[in-house]
């Protein structure tokens, strides 16, 4: 990797997974199989890598375990296989975060790209009208924030390179898939063209929802304004600065008209 996430973690591709340094704790990864996400793909019968990705939830430095639990913060790492899922890039199926018992909020999530290129797609609602829809593109070192309650999915924007990213979330996390699956996925499908570029195809199970595409903006209003400093090191330097991840009400004013990208354009 050409980005230092601030954690002694080695990412492996064969098999997909992670190796932790002596001062880092982390679980054996869980695997998402192709069959588990088919219902949300443009072509549910497509071929592709299997497993699609590996995920390790609750990773951190051993000296931070008590602080992470006290603040109800959780750090996870995900690595995707290279390749494609039929005409689509490798991606997750999309979900909404379950409301946290301690805050009552469906918590936000903070992504940081480690390797490859990613698009974090997000939409306000899983309903006939999905509301505002954004596709936020990031490269190693970029940070992307998904606000509370929004449905989202992570997409590999380079089929030749395995994608790896880290993410902060509420420790009381949970994924809700039923509404997304009932509509055959999210409101827009990413499709690969002959040159490996991504174009967007509207999901007919929604009525409306215009898509804006752009790079991530500066999230200084959320306290994420240390360019070049990984989001894990930002926690290490000032744990309280990220408290809004598990207590979104602390940044309530930021969520009302939240825009995740710096410059919007129609695809």
Read off the pLDDT of residues 123-158 as tens digits, 9 standing for 90 and up.
999 999 999 999 999 999 999 999 999 999 999 999
What tens digit of pLDDT does each residue of 204-262 get? 999 988 999 999 999 999 999 767 899 999 999 999 999 999 999 999 999 989 999 98
**pLDDT attached to residue 266:** 65
Q: What residues form DSSP beta bridges with 53?
A: 32, 80
Spatial separation of the C-alpha atoms in residues 88 and 24, rounded to whole Å: 35
pLDDT digits (tens, 9 = 90+) for 170-216: 999 899 999 999 999 999 999 998 888 899 999 999 998 899 999 99
Give the pLDDT confidence of 91-120 residue by residue, as tens digits. 999 999 999 999 999 999 999 999 999 999
Helix H or strand E encompassing 66: helix 65-70
Q: Where are the beta strands (DSSP E) in 62-142?
A: 73-80, 84-85, 88-89, 96-97, 109-115, 118-123, 133-138
All domains of the chain in start order, with CATH: 9-255 (2.60.120.10)
Q: What is the pTM of this model?
A: 0.96
pLDDT tens digits, 28-81: 999 999 999 999 999 999 999 999 999 999 999 999 999 999 999 999 999 999
């Amino acid at each position: 990797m050409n980005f230092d996430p601030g954690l002694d973690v080695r990412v492996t591709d064969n098999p997909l997974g992670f190796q932790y340094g002596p001062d880092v704790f982390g679980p054996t990864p869980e695997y998402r199989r192709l069959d588990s996400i088919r219902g949300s793909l443009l072509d549910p019968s497509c071929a592709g890598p299997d497993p699609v990705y590996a995920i390790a939830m609750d990773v951190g430095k051993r000296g931070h375990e008590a602080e992470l639990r006290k603040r109800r913060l959780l750090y996870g790492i995900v690595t995707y296989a290279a390749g494609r899922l039929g005409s689509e890039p490798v991606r997750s199926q999309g979900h909404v975060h379950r409301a946290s018992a301690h805050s009552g909020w469906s918590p936000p999530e903070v992504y940081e790209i480690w390797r490859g290129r990613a698009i974090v797609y997000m939409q306000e609602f899983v309903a006939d009208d999905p509301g505002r829809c954004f596709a936020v593109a990031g490269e190693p070192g970029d940070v992307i924030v998904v606000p509370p309650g929004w449905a989202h999915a992570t997409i590999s924007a380079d089929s030749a390179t395995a994608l790896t990213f880290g993410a902060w979330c509420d420790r009381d996390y949970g994924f809700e898939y039923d509404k997304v699956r009932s509509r055959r996925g999210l409101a827009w499908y990413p499709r690969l063209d002959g040159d490996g570029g991504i174009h967007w195809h509207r999901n007919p199970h929604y009525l409306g929802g215009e898509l804006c595409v752009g790079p991530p903006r500066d999230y200084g209003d959320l306290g994420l304004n240390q360019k070049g400093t990984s989001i894990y090191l930002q926690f290490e330097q000032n744990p309280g600065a990220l408290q809004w991840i598990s207590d979104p009400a602390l940044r309530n004013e930021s969520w009302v008209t939240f825009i995740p990208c710096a410059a919007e354009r129609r695809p």
